[in-house]
Amino acid sequence: MMRPSLNDLSAFVAVATHRSFRRAADELGTAPSTLSHAMRGLEDRLGVRLLNRTTRSVSPTEAGLELLGRLQIALTSLDEALDAASAYRGNVAGRVRINAPRVAAAALVRDVLPRMVERFPDVTVDLVVEGRLIDIVSGGFDAGVRLIDSIPKDMIAVPFPAPIGFVCVASPAYLDRAGEPTTPDDLQRHRCVGHRLPGGRLYRWEFERAGQELTVDVNGPLVLDDEELMVDAAARGLGIAYVVSWAAEAALADGRLRTVLPAWMHKPERAAVYYPGHRAVPPALRAFLDVVKTMPTARETH
């Protein structure tokens, strides 16, 4: 039996993982028909059917699933071996394209990029801010950043060490004038700074206490789609804002803002960098992931 090439085995992993010739072809930069022909050749050489094909779908057979699991482990080991060898050629260099929502992008600029510049000065991080969840492979990205629960299951996720928390904040002058809410329902009687999500809809503020979860539709004089602008609006007395906690840290520390409803805030959520697990990890991406793992495990709370 002629041994299959590494390219054919990597192509099989892409098809079996995506369960689509089109998506796998987009990732590999080839035509679906070329990929389909290569998979038939692979099956002929191995003498076993690896993929079940219909006019609308493709899925691994039992033999295909067995091969997929073993190849994923083998390809990961190969990546690590190549990374170890590349360390002897000098500094890691190259470009890594990352897709992230604004909140995560700001965290990367604050906690990751300074370390990247120090440790890997020859790596360029091309950071694209994107609110919508997109297909990072077809979009030409090496990796993306999203909340863990929204990451596709066929991706490898590297969690941020610290979860992302949220706070309700308002200026002391506003609270002195309007009073301080004691429950989320009290927000109906307050001016609030609305948050428009990337898809266009308004965010419904989420709260939790003693296992009780609430969502509240708020009203106010202003709707924004930027965390830092929401913090600024709240600091100027325009109303109560619901923002990611790091965005309000400076204003809370210098007294321009106070927290509101702290006992009702939803528990922090985990975010992660994610990337396809069925192809070689470029050295620049590997360097980026190593730095992500060194992010602070906790931030100052108020």
User: Which residue stretches of 61-186 are H helix?
Assistant: 62-86, 102-111, 113-119, 172-178
Q: Give the predicted TM-score (pTM) of the model.
A: 0.61
| Domains of the chain and any CATH numbers | 6-86 (1.10.10.10), 91-163+269-292 (3.40.190.10), 166-264 (3.40.190.290)
Give the whole-number percent of the chain exceeding pLDDT 70. 93
pLDDT, residue 298, reads 54
For 212-251, write each residue's pLDDT tens digit: 889 999 999 999 988 889 999 999 999 999 998 888 988 9
CB 232 within 8 A of CB 285: no
Tokens of 295: 């992010």
Burial class (CB in 10 A: 0-12, 13-18, 19+), 144: buried
**Among 14-28, 39-53, 204-218, 223-237, which is the least confidently predicted range?**
14-28
**One-letter amino acid of 300:** E
Distance in angstroms (rounded) separating the CA atoms of residues 11 and 176: 64
Q: What pLDDT is attached to residue 84?
A: 62
Is pLDDT above 90 for 23? Answer: no
> Looking at the chain, which runs of residues are DSSP E strands?
51-53, 58-60, 94-100, 123-129, 143-147, 155-159, 166-170, 193-195, 205-209, 212-216, 222-224, 241-244, 258-260, 271-276
